Structure 1
């Protein structure tokens, strides 16, 4: 019988690892609930043009009365311009998730690069990178984000960049701590003795060992990014041409919907924000519990 190749053995190990991960994850009801909620909102975001005509976002094409209470034709009523709030909510799902995921991707790339470098090297590189991370952690997030968003201007890309470049320090600290642990392990010394350079050691040995916990932390960062986008949009710093949940809440506040008891203008976007943030938190905590050996042993 022929001996299996190294590639076949690696594939079998990956399948076994994914199988164990799936079994561990399925044992957490909270994680499954969060995953189901996220799946629902992702489907709404993907099929938003099919669920609600994008033409309904155009103020010029709105024909219904403004501030109309819910009816069969408009299940969540209308805004001050006569647009269906349900249409705004459906398309706002796409914008809010897009900003949250894109900003988190930027934060993950910056935080991982800074964290691995700071944890792998000693001396002045670690001191400089740690000082920069501490500076971003000390500066209050919201005022810094407001200043950057005001300077760069109100656009979707700018909001993504602002949230991304202000959300990476937590990831950097986590990655640096894990890298410090990994770099002391014997197999890293063996790889160095065999001629592996710094880049090879960081990309082939350090990064794969820190990425599972990074992914768990990143899922939690998405919820923070969505809350940040909602806050900035509520303050009028979001993109006015692309409605998000924060955009809807800002319009509800500026047009007096809250004082006029127009709950259909305020409650739906608020509930969506709470549900998505809670779902990402449940999934992130579950991933952290499954991927962190110390937490798994404590169960």
Structure 2
């Protein structure tokens, strides 16, 4: 029991240090602030507005921005700010959920294709090639006609989005497998599972975390685009759906806030996720960290590249020696 508590506290400390390192990074701090504001607005949206999405007031439709309606109203008299706050929920759910699904599926298939046999690699690569050939927009239109729910939208984005992640992870795993310390682990008798979880997964983790953050941003834009062409879920409010409604009446009635508000909301959220992704890359990727340190020390690009190469060579040799000693002392791991 004490051992379990110790592990939990150790994991909590690691997570705390990691979050602190993100906040210390300028890009990470900016991204967390922007995304945090949007998330809080989505969670506490009903408390921030006195209106609801079903508060129709057609007599007050297309009202200009005022103290009563800060962004005005649509043609049905529904407060636009209320729509923005409620729409943040679906946009965030679709973006974050799809980003996680794409990263998980792509990473799993990418690792399997690179490390677990030629047959699995051939099958997965052929599936990737087929999906990359199929036109994306017609495929989304066909699947959206089957069901226009946002769950179907998540499924569509996951189906067409995992290929890039799988290819990226596969390339990274193949390069890692040629490292000296991987070969030393294999010669020392390490099993595939041990090498996978002890060496390969930590080496690609920074790519997966960064890919998740950037994928969230990309799929939020994709959701807005799909809703804009009329393929979104009509039963829920999202920023893309607001843009669809705005294009019909906003320009003729001069309600620029109706168009700008969801556009700015999408931009802020996407920009925030991208900044978090760039910050995670700087924090988790040792190569970028060493390059940044060398730039701060005044090293030229040539000197910085040589320093990175020297440190990588020394790291792999040291790790191979340590791994060999570990197996000689404790026997093979499974």
Which residue number corresponds to residue 289 of structure 1?
Answer: 282
CA deviations 1:152-203 (Å, max 9, x no partner) are: 3211111111112211112112211222233344554565567655445434
Q: Matched residue of 1:75: which SS?
A: coil
In terms of mean alpha carbon deviation, does 141-150 or 287-296 score higher? 141-150
1:57 pairs, out of 43, 53, 58, with: 53
In terms of mean alpha carbon deviation, does 186-195 or 212-221 score higher? 186-195
Q: Is the 8 A contact 1:171 1:218 kept in 2?
A: no
More helix by share: 2
Which residue number corresponds to residue 259 of structure 2?
Answer: 266
Unaligned runs of 5+ residues in structure 1 are none
The count of corresponding residues between Structure 1 and Structure 2 is 290
Quick one: structure 1 residues 9 and 69, their matched pair in 2 at CA, closer, same or farther if it must change by over 3 Å?
Answer: closer
Superposition pairs for residues 1-299 of structure 1, below 5 Å?
Answer: 15=13, 19=17, 22-23=20-21, 25-52=22-49, 56-58=52-54, 61-62=56-57, 65-150=60-145, 152-185=146-179, 188=182, 197-253=191-247, 255-299=248-292
Q: CA deviation at 1:28?
A: 3.2
CA deviations 1:72-101 (Å, max 9, x no partner) are: 111111111111111100000111001101
- Paired with 2:263 and 2:39, the residues of 1 have a C-alpha distance of 17
Quick one: structure 1 residues 36 and 132, their matched pair in 2 at CA, closer, same or farther if it must change by over 3 Å?
Answer: same
Quick one: structure 1 residues 143 and 295, their matched pair in 2 at CA, closer, same or farther if it must change by over 3 Å?
Answer: farther
- TM-score w.r.t. the length of structure 2 is 0.77
Bigger radius of gyration among the two: 2
RMSD: 2.9
